[in-house]
Chains A and B, each alone.
Chain A
């Protein structure tokens, strides 16, 4: 497993650091060791070990039911691990004693808000959790940052889905956290708003904030994340920098009349490492486009359309999380 920096004596950090003290920069923002969660006979998360370096934008992917939400719940002290430990910003997270989470901002699932209160009042309640703190400036800054400055006094219950999501983001950004844990932060947002959020996350990372991001929008993850981890059936199947995970091989996409028959013929072509039939298209890796087209023409399957490029994160994700029986009912991170 890649690790950015040597790890300090964690026990010493736990003993010495008061909750409000920022731990040494050399500690990872997030460290998970042997994390396991069972619900009866079902193993939701199985021996997960993970480290997220500070200042990175880290993508956390997996299909439905992979254990992402349970993992995030354990990171945030909302779910009791069956086994293993979670450290956030150098301090251990224990459900019921989550002092380690005071420098963490989170948006998990649908944004949490009280519909009858204004956006400002919702944020004020959250700011009020910090004793003696006048959160007005922080609230204004958070609302401006997510583009809700003009809607500050509107009741949150009247907001559109996208606006509620922005308010949830403002809550996560309140008090300038050192670590952001976000689950589907752009859900319900239009394209322009999603772009703003992407920029916002990159800005936050540039300011030293670590972002732990779960999203089903894989192209966004690819654009914004430095590293990703893929979880499947509760187990970590891969992790690392996005660029290093994507194969170097070129993927060629061709449209043919009979993809299944063409795929059978292609199995004989030397160098081919992967063939996927997808509707009337074939996706082929390991062979250059000219050779592929020449082979198909020779085999009587003249392509009507040919495109080529590097496999993207979505392709990698589908390969890594393919069901054992070959069926797939939905793809989601």
Chain B
């Protein structure tokens, strides 16, 4: 399993999509912070700090990474590398789990980059000493972990869609449709249901109090486990012909 995960990490980190995503997230955050700074004078007071902007950026980037993870898996059906590996004696369940595990460090990185960029931009605006007095490194670390953890259901969903359809477009479309359209609409029309969807749970995890945070964490874990179990079961039953 360790060897398999290591191979999956190599595949993820040695290819361009992850690095392009990280670059795009950092650049977009810088551009947005600059645009806000230029459009509102400092005395306006209520403008969001770059650090505050980092959180939605981190979550969105994590969701995009989840979509990329599924797309990469679907792509490997087309490249036929999945059948090749299975024909070399790799078991299906561990292969999919390794793919999931390999996504975790990338998720952390994707959550870390906007926070780091936001921190650097904040340093430019405030006195370093003032910032240091308000800054909680523990809080930042927890926020990065929570952002990454909150995206796990999307990763599991994306892998499941890739297994089920073997088409690159479906995990990308499915994850982004859920995150950017379905969840906001359900949140507006049926807030009580929307509160139990992954993005709301993710926000609760980042901002909620003790019990709410624990419940949100457990529900996110449950979503992830169920979706991943379905993906593994489908993968194990699949005939890989053609």
Q: Give the interface of A toward B (CB within 8 A).
A: 19, 69-70, 73, 76-80, 95-102, 104-106, 108-117, 121, 125-126, 128-132, 171, 181
With both beta carbons as reference points, the residue of chain B lying nearest to A78 in the complex is identified as B240
Q: Does B136 contact A (CB under 8 A)?
A: no
Contact with A along B1-35 (1 / 0, CB 8 A): 01110110011001110000000000000000000
Q: Identify 12 new A-B residue pairs, CB closer than 8 A, beyond the known A70-B241, A78-B241, A113-B79.
A: A69-B241, A77-B86, A78-B239, A78-B240, A96-B93, A96-B236, A112-B79, A115-B79, A116-B15, A117-B14, A129-B90, A181-B87
**What is the CA–CA distance of A117 and B82 in the complex, to the nearest angstrom?**
16
**What is the CA–CA distance of A27 and B16 in the complex, to the nearest angstrom?**
47
Q: How far is the CB of B21 from chain A (nearest CB, A)?
A: 15
A-B contact count (CB 8 A): 100
With both beta carbons as reference points, the residue of chain B lying nearest to A69 in the complex is identified as B241
- Residues of B within 8 Å of A102, CB to CB, are 88-89
With both beta carbons as reference points, the residue of chain A lying nearest to B1 in the complex is identified as A131
Q: Does B135 contact A (CB under 8 A)?
A: no
Which of A76, A104, A109 lies in contact with B242, CB distance below 8 A?
A109
Given A98-B91, A101-B89, A113-B81, check contact A79 B239 (CB 8 Å): yes
Q: Which of B84-114 contact A (CB under 8 A)?
A: 84-93
- Residues of B within 8 Å of A70, CB to CB, are 241
The answer to whether A108 touches B239 (Cβ under 8 A) is no
- Residues of A within 8 Å of B2, CB to CB, are 131
The answer to whether A101 touches B81 (Cβ under 8 A) is no
- Residues of A within 8 Å of B7, CB to CB, are 125, 128-129
**What is the CA–CA distance of A144 and B239 in the complex, to the nearest angstrom?**
34
The answer to whether A73 touches B84 (Cβ under 8 A) is no
Q: How far is the CB of B223 from chain A (nearest CB, A)?
A: 25
Q: How far is the CB of B53 from chain A (nearest CB, A)?
A: 32
Which of A99, A112, A117 lies in contact with B80, CB distance below 8 A?
A112
Given A70-B241, A115-B79, check contact A126 B89 (CB 8 Å): no
Q: Which of B55-83 contact A (CB under 8 A)?
A: 76, 79-83
The answer to whether A101 touches B15 (Cβ under 8 A) is no
The answer to whether B242 touches A69 (Cβ under 8 A) is yes
The answer to whether B85 touches A126 (Cβ under 8 A) is yes
Given A78-B241, A108-B83, check contact A114 B88 (CB 8 Å): no
**What is the CA–CA distance of A117 and B14 in the complex, to the nearest angstrom?**
8
Q: Give the interface of B toward A (CB within 8 A).
A: 2-4, 6-7, 10-11, 14-16, 76, 79-93, 236-237, 239-242
Which of B4, B11, B80, B92 lies in contact with A96, CB distance below 8 A?
B92
Main SS at interface, chain A: loop
The answer to whether B16 touches A116 (Cβ under 8 A) is yes
- Residues of A within 8 Å of B237, CB to CB, are 80
- Residues of A within 8 Å of B92, CB to CB, are 95-96
- Residues of B within 8 Å of A117, CB to CB, are 14-15
- Residues of B within 8 Å of A98, CB to CB, are 86-87, 89-91
The answer to whether B3 touches A78 (Cβ under 8 A) is no
Which of A80, A109, A128 lies in contact with B239, CB distance below 8 A?
A80
The answer to whether B239 touches A129 (Cβ under 8 A) is no
**What is the CA–CA distance of A101 and B15 in the complex, to the nearest angstrom?**
29
**What is the CA–CA distance of A76 and B92 in the complex, to the nearest angstrom?**
13
Which of A96, A99, A105, A112 lies in contact with B83, CB distance below 8 A?
A112
**What is the CA–CA distance of A117 and B175 in the complex, to the nearest angstrom?**
27
- Residues of A within 8 Å of B88, CB to CB, are 101-102, 104-106, 126, 129
- Residues of A within 8 Å of B241, CB to CB, are 69-70, 73, 78-79
Q: How far is the CB of A69 from chain B (nearest CB, A)?
A: 6
- Residues of B within 8 Å of A73, CB to CB, are 239-241
The answer to whether B3 touches A99 (Cβ under 8 A) is no
Q: How far is the CB of B76 from chain A (nearest CB, A)?
A: 8
The answer to whether B81 touches A112 (Cβ under 8 A) is yes
Which of A97, A125, A131, A171 lies in contact with B11, CB distance below 8 A?
A125
Q: How far is the CB of B6 from chain A (nearest CB, A)?
A: 6
The answer to whether B83 touches A78 (Cβ under 8 A) is yes
**What is the CA–CA distance of A296 and B242 in the complex, to the nearest angstrom?**
49
Which of B11, B16, B80, B91 lies in contact with A110, CB distance below 8 A?
B80
Given A73-B240, A131-B3, check contact A112 B10 (CB 8 Å): no
Q: How far is the CB of A246 from chain B (nearest CB, A)?
A: 32
**What is the CA–CA distance of A109 and B91 in the complex, to the nearest angstrom?**
21
The answer to whether B87 touches A78 (Cβ under 8 A) is yes
**What is the CA–CA distance of A105 and B214 in the complex, to the nearest angstrom?**
49
With both beta carbons as reference points, the residue of chain A lying nearest to B6 in the complex is identified as A128
**What is the CA–CA distance of A109 and B87 in the complex, to the nearest angstrom?**
13
**What is the CA–CA distance of A117 and B16 in the complex, to the nearest angstrom?**
11
Q: How far is the CB of B156 from chain A (nearest CB, A)?
A: 19
